[in-house]
Amino acid sequence: MPADLDSLRNNPLEIGWRLHPEFWHQGLASEAAERMAAFAFTNLDAKELLAVRHPANADSARVMDRLGMRFRATEFWCGTNVATHAISRESWLEAHSGRNES
């Protein structure tokens, strides 16, 4: 863990989601992802957000797509291959510039 917040801000922040199956397929994870991104980009001044999924997790990939994240790579993390997706602050702001966030 970096000692100061500025060095944390210079690294991509990771966002993620896990819902009880009773709450799947209602749009809740995507709504939560939107809120996380809004908080990270407007309150924390994050430069980039990262999300990580099992390569076979198509539901999670769709949450990332809906947020406007782009597939980055298949990377070896913590002993396993994962798919990484990212969105820059510029892309997020561009996609949200015409929206009336409340």
Ligand X SMILES: CC(C)(COP(=O)(O)OP(=O)(O)OC[C@H]1O[C@@H](n2cnc3c(N)ncnc32)[C@H](O)[C@@H]1OP(=O)(O)O)[C@@H](O)C(=O)NCCC(=O)NCCS
Give the residues lining the site for ligand X (CB under 6 A). Answer: 16-19, 24-30, 53, 57, 59-60, 62-63
Q: CB of residue 63 vs ligand X: minimum separation in angstroms?
A: 5
Say whether 77 sits in a helix, a strand or coil. Answer: strand
Length of the chain: 102
Say whether 73 sits in a helix, a strand or coil. Answer: strand
Give whichever of 59 and 94 is closer to ligand X, judged by the CB atom.
Answer: 59
Q: Nearest to residue 65, comparing CAs of 42, 44, 90, 95?
A: 95
Q: CB of residue 91 vs ligand X: minimum separation in angstroms?
A: 19
Give whichever of 6 and 22 is closer to ligand X, judged by the CB atom.
Answer: 22
Contact assessment for residue 66 and residue 30, using Cβ atoms and an 8 Å cutoff = yes
Give whichever of 19 and 44 is closer to ligand X, judged by the CB atom.
Answer: 19
